Amino acid sequence: MKAGPSQEEIRRHNLGTLLRHVHIGGSMSRAVLAERMGLNRSTILGLVSDLAAAGLVREELPRDTGRAGRPSLVVRPESDQVYVLAFDVGVDRLTAARIGLGGVFLDRREMPMSPDRRDTGAVTETLSGFARQMIDTARHGTLCLGAAAAVRGMVRRADGVVRSAPYIDWKDEDFGEDLARRLDLGLPVSVGNEASLGALAEHLRGAGTGCQDLVYLHGDIGIGGGLVINGRLLDGDSGYGGEIGHMVVNPRGGRPCGCGARGCLEAEAGERALLEAAQRDPSAMGREAVRAVVEAADRGDSTARAALHDVGDWLGIGVANLVNILNPRTVVFGGTLREVFLGSAAQIRSRINCHALAASREQLRLRVGELGDNAVLIGAAELAFSAMLESPLETLARGRAL
Amino acid sequence: MKAGPSQEEIRRHNLGTLLRHVHIGGSMSRAVLAERMGLNRSTILGLVSDLAAAGLVREELPRDTGRAGRPSLVVRPESDQVYVLAFDVGVDRLTAARIGLGGVFLDRREMPMSPDRRDTGAVTETLSGFARQMIDTARHGTLCLGAAAAVRGMVRRADGVVRSAPYIDWKDEDFGEDLARRLDLGLPVSVGNEASLGALAEHLRGAGTGCQDLVYLHGDIGIGGGLVINGRLLDGDSGYGGEIGHMVVNPRGGRPCGCGARGCLEAEAGERALLEAAQRDPSAMGREAVRAVVEAADRGDSTARAALHDVGDWLGIGVANLVNILNPRTVVFGGTLREVFLGSAAQIRSRINCHALAASREQLRLRVGELGDNAVLIGAAELAFSAMLESPLETLARGRAL
């Protein structure tokens, strides 16, 4: 329990808050900013001037107001001047993006990852290659603020060590530090769990915008999760919160899970379970394979229908549990669970109605992710931008023209 | 996203923070307060003077320092001058307390509640009778700040309406307003869920002190829960978060639950399940009945042992799920689950080791509640004190000498 902030801390907070408004909300007038922040216009003018002088925002005429008369200037983020690097280490694919202030994709690269190139050495080499290419094509004088990477595993918050990422055989890898060394940018590199970052992205820019209590389920090779509680991403005590896929839903005779237990949500409702139940090649994972099952069910294929029915049952039980425990406003199905949800929504809803308490579910909304395959990269970029939105000028001073 | 606070808001925050330190931590010197709040001594002196002038704290010599030399003055809360009323609506019992600043019990009353006196009219009548008795015995000139009541049910945060309290047959009862009218104190009356308030109490003054991420399981006639995330009690979207007892742990062939579903944690591991499995009278609920099973198991009674083994299995699965989802530092077993835990800890731990991810459980501590039957009342008092700790002088000005 600390004392209230100093004048300097308040100024920093206000600069960060204003920048966050235009970073997330896009161009807006000073009048709107004054209204949203509860500050008077002259204070807003001062804050905008400071951020503009630093090259973080620009005031300009709006593109098209659709109204007669002289339009007000709007404040917009300098998206092509100030950027971060975002990386996504998938199970069979590496993706990277250069993302400007305001969340604009300025560049994007990807490459399949072969099973013999999954060690951290090979991964950091590929990612730093992407980084060099993307930096080389950036306009001269633009500023890089930092980088962040998503992994399908458990990341210790304190130091970014990947404690366990079973699908790529990582255990206690100091990936954040390795990547920082390889990138050699002299900038901070953060690491986060892919589903937590997906949750952050959908919360800020996708299906969960404006919602303060959100559960995000991310289907990939497994089932990951991210929880937004009171507008903040839940880390838990050490950073491992949100491992929804390892909630036990079927403790008696459940299917074996990669974690060593049985009956986990991931084992009962993950891609492998769906493809096996649909009598399809379980090694042909990914969005296309899942979509094929949903399309077959739509065409009347009874095996595919039964598979989606079963998986929907388990997902519904898992979501009902989360609704009882957390009373969220919105549950978002992202990654390949987007497709699964579209094929089994009725079953999921029926189970939720059966197992979630009436009061806890009366305001509940089920949504599919809106950011598709970019959700994780967008979340990683937000992680990399977060220092900037806490203290803009100090972070900018540490930025690098590469 | 609001702008930073004004000077006046900072002053209010600092007064509240200082008061919170002595309210929770007990008497401490100005030097310790300066250290903990990160403020200089002259600012602390000013804050203490304001609070002392308002009659909220007093500076005095410490009781016994155990050291030679002249001791420093300590700042202590005026526990017998400023108080709140706390009520606990149990299933078969009504309890009330007058609790002074600093969490000191100044008075406590209780009465069994017969099944035909469970309607809100009868309950508010009994509680307001308690209130009158307790106020009448308070010293002249002492100030009441407000009241709060705990119920075993789902409470809507926005207006304190009890949406559902099945064990006492309440549905959509405007209990907070009814109680306020009956008390007729001209003071705010808050209502909260009993397990959430138990969680708050154990977090602030019991087994979870200093822990920012806590799960509290409360055994009573059912199983309730309260979650502390990042140091704050989780409400969820509408105030119904923490319904841990209705997590489905046994979806296939599970026991019927009072909520209408099957296989809920409460149905598998609640008092009734334990007493039935131990072949005892399931209507003889409560701490004594549970303790009798644990003692029988200690003496070697194999039926009691098997019952505790089964219940421990389900509790362990439930806790493992919460550990995977939330990555808490501490799990506290309160109410009658304290006794259950003492009799089945090995089974609970074994299931957690089986189903919770290794990284998520490596820092985990399992604890029994330290506040016993008073946990809920203490939590209710903290709810009633909360406005005071946000803005002491304004709240004091609204207090009443009754």
CATH ID of A82-196+376-401, from 3.40.50.1820, 2.40.30.10, 3.40.50.2300, 3.30.420.40: 3.30.420.40
Question: Tell me, what DSSP letter sits at residue B5?
Answer: P
Give the fold, CATH level 3, of B211-370. Nucleotidyltransferase; domain 5 (3.30.420)
- In B, residues 139-158, which contact A (CB 8 Å cutoff)? 154, 156
Are A343 and A297 a contacting pair, CB within 8 Å? yes
Q: Is the pLDDT of residue A193 over 70?
A: yes
Contact A320 B20 (CB under 8 A): no
B325 with A2: Cβ contact below 8 A: no
Nearest to A206 by CA among A22, A376, A19: A376
Q: How far is B393 from chain A (nearest CA, A)?
A: 17
Nearest to B14 among A4, A13, A360 (CB): A4
Partner B contacted by A232 (CB < 8 A): yes
Q: Is A242 on the interface with B (CB under 8 A)?
A: yes
Give the least confident one: A62-76, A206-220, B250-264: A62-76
Q: What's A33-46 look like in SS3?
A: HHHHHCCCHHHHHH
pLDDT higher for A145 or B70? A145
What are the boundaries of each domain within chain A? 7-77, 82-196+376-401, 211-370
In this predicted structure, what is the pLDDT of residue B397?
87
Distance from CA of A311 to the nearest CA of B (A): 14
Q: Do A325 and B4 touch (CB under 8 A)?
A: no
3-class secondary structure, B232 = strand
Record the tokens describing residue A321, joined without a space: 């549990």
pLDDT digits (tens, 9 = 90+) for B224-259: 999 999 999 999 999 999 999 999 999 988 999 999
- Over the Cα atoms of chain B, what is R_g? 22
CATH topology of domain B7-77: Arc Repressor Mutant, subunit A (1.10.10)
- Fold agreement between B82-196+376-390 and B211-370: yes
Where does the pLDDT of residue B67 fall: very low under 50, low under 70, confident under 90, or very high at 90 and above? low
Put simply, the answer to whether B240 touches A2 (Cβ < 8 Å) is: no
Q: Is the pLDDT of residue B64 over 70?
A: no
Complex confidence, ipTM: 0.95
- Euclidean distance between CA atoms A41 and A368, whole angstroms: 39
Mean pLDDT of B184-208: 96
Spatial separation of the C-alpha atoms in residues A111 and A127, rounded to whole Å: 10
Distance CA B254, CA B248 (A): 9
Which B residues in the span 290-319 are in contact with A, Cβ-Cβ below 8 Å? 317
**B2, A37: Cβ pair inside 8 Å?**
yes
**Is the CB of B10 less than 8 angstroms away from the CB of A11?**
no
Count how many pairs of residues, chain A against chain B, have C-beta atoms within 8 Å.
200
Distances (CA, A) of A47 to A40, A41, A73, B227: 11, 10, 15, 39
Q: Does A3 contact B14 at a Cβ distance shorter than 8 Å?
A: yes
Q: Which residue, among A1, A24, A44, A329, would best test binding to B if mutated, counting the most B CBs under 10 Å from its CB?
A: A1
* CATH number of the structural domain B82-196+376-390: 3.30.420.40
> Tens of pLDDT along A227-259?
999 999 999 999 999 999 999 999 988 999 999
B353 and chain A in contact, CB less than 8 A? no
Model confidence over B320-372: pLDDT tens digits? 999 999 999 999 999 999 999 999 999 999 999 999 999 999 999 999 999 99
